[in-house]
């Protein structure tokens, strides 16, 4: 089958088109013919080698973390899907590879595609949708009446996170550029800050949760807007103990509480 693979880690190495052996589904796998796949920042970070210590993939590696397609075969223990089903999926992190013609995904990582969505639309949902759910609901444990700051509200994760936070009953602040202000407001944002004009850390305070999608200086400044015992959740990259040392926070706080 045709696929896009990484032979060596590093930004300069890029990816190449290659012929790869088709996957052989396990007994609890669904074999899917891929019709659409989305490109996420996670893909470039994996390519660059940022996660090689925590996700030791074997090279050459097929990139890609979510997809939409059609089931062509199922394993002997699969009960929820059958050939011909239109599905979308987020493969387990140790079995990525959606930039290809076919992929085998464990049954619990697959869902039926909503009939109202095209393949392209459905393929854009799994990774960012699940990330937002983990951040807002599982890690953030947002409750009615709390305040949350979501950075880059017009991005893939941000657009889902705003809606989930509002569904939980939280007051939502977000950062974005001027051209996307109306978009994030339509999603439910209560406070919108144009990051090109204003410094969010000088405007906001006493927030229960911050979702940081940027890292670096934004992550550091986000600590200033939290109330005591507030939660900072970062998804910009792998754990960074140097940040914890510089800010006086424990490494455990940075990696275990602050990472999805």
User: Which domains does the chain carry?
Assistant: 2-123 (3.90.180.10), 128-257 (3.40.50.720)
46 has a pLDDT exceeding 50:
yes
Task: Give Cα 119 distance to the centre of its chain.
Answer: 19
C-alpha–C-alpha distance, residues 52 and 136, integer Å: 26
238 has a pLDDT exceeding 80:
no
* 3-class SS of residue 257: helix
Residue 11 sits at φ, ψ, to 5 deg, of -60, -35
Confidence of residue 240 (pLDDT cuts 50, 70, 90): low
Q: What is the pLDDT of residue 259?
A: 38
254 has a pLDDT exceeding 50:
no
C-alpha–C-alpha distance, residues 57 and 61, integer Å: 7
Helices (H), 84-155: 119-123, 126-133
Beta bridge partners of 176: 194
**Exposure letters 81-108 (e unless 16+ CB within 10 A, then b):** beeebbbbbbbeeebbbbbbebbbbbbe
**pTM for the whole thing?**
0.86
220 CB-contact burial (10 Å; exposed 0-12 / middle 13-18 / buried 19+): middle
* 3-class SS of residue 173: strand
Mean pLDDT of the chain: 91
Report pLDDT digits (tens) over 211-221: 998 888 898 89
HSE (CB half, 13 Å, CA atoms) of 139? 26
State both tokens at 221.
Answer: 């400044």
Report pLDDT digits (tens) over 124-149: 999 999 999 999 999 999 999 999 99
30-96-53-9 Cα dihedral, nearest 10 degrees: 150
Q: Backbone dihedral region of 112: left (phi > 0), alpha (psi from -120 to 50 degrees) or beta?
A: beta
Least-confidence region, from 52-56, 190-194, 203-207: 52-56
Residue range 241-247: average pLDDT?
Answer: 52
Q: What is the pLDDT of residue 115?
A: 97
Position with higher pLDDT, 79 vs 11: 79
Residue range 29-34: average pLDDT?
Answer: 98
State both tokens at 47.
Answer: 């390519």
Q: What is the pLDDT of residue 90?
A: 97
């Amino acid at each position: 089958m045709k696929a896009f693979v990484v032979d060596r880690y590093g930004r300069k190495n890029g990816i190449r088109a290659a012929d790869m052996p088709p996957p052989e589904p396990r007994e609890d796998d669904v074999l899917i013919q891929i019709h659409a796949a989305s490109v996420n920042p996670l893909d470039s970070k994996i390519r660059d080698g940022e996660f090689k210590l925590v996700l030791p993939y074997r090279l050459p590696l097929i990139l890609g973390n979510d997809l939409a397609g059609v089931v062509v075969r199922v394993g002997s223990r699969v009960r929820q899907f059958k050939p011909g089903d239109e599905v979308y999926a987020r493969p387990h992190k140790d079995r990525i590879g959606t930039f290809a013609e076919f992929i085998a995904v464990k049954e619990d990582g697959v869902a039926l595609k909503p009939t109202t969505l095209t393949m392209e639309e459905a393929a854009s949902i799994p990774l960012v949708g699940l990330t937002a759910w983990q951040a807002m609901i599982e890690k953030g444990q947002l409750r009615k009446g709390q305040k949350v700051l979501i950075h880059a509200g017009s991005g893939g994760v941000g657009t889902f996170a705003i809606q989930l936070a509002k569904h939980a009953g939280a007051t939502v602040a977000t950062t974005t550029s001027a051209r996307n202000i109306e978009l994030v407001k339509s999603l439910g944002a209560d406070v919108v800050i144009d990051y090109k004009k204003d410094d969010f850390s000088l405007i906001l305070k006493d927030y229960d949760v911050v979702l940081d999608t940027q890292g670096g200086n934004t992550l550091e400044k986000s600590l200033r807007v939290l109330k005591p015992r507030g939660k900072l959740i970062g998804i910009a990259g792998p754990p960074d103990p140097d940040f914890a040392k510089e800010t006086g926070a424990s490494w455990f706080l940075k990696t275990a509480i602050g990472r999805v």
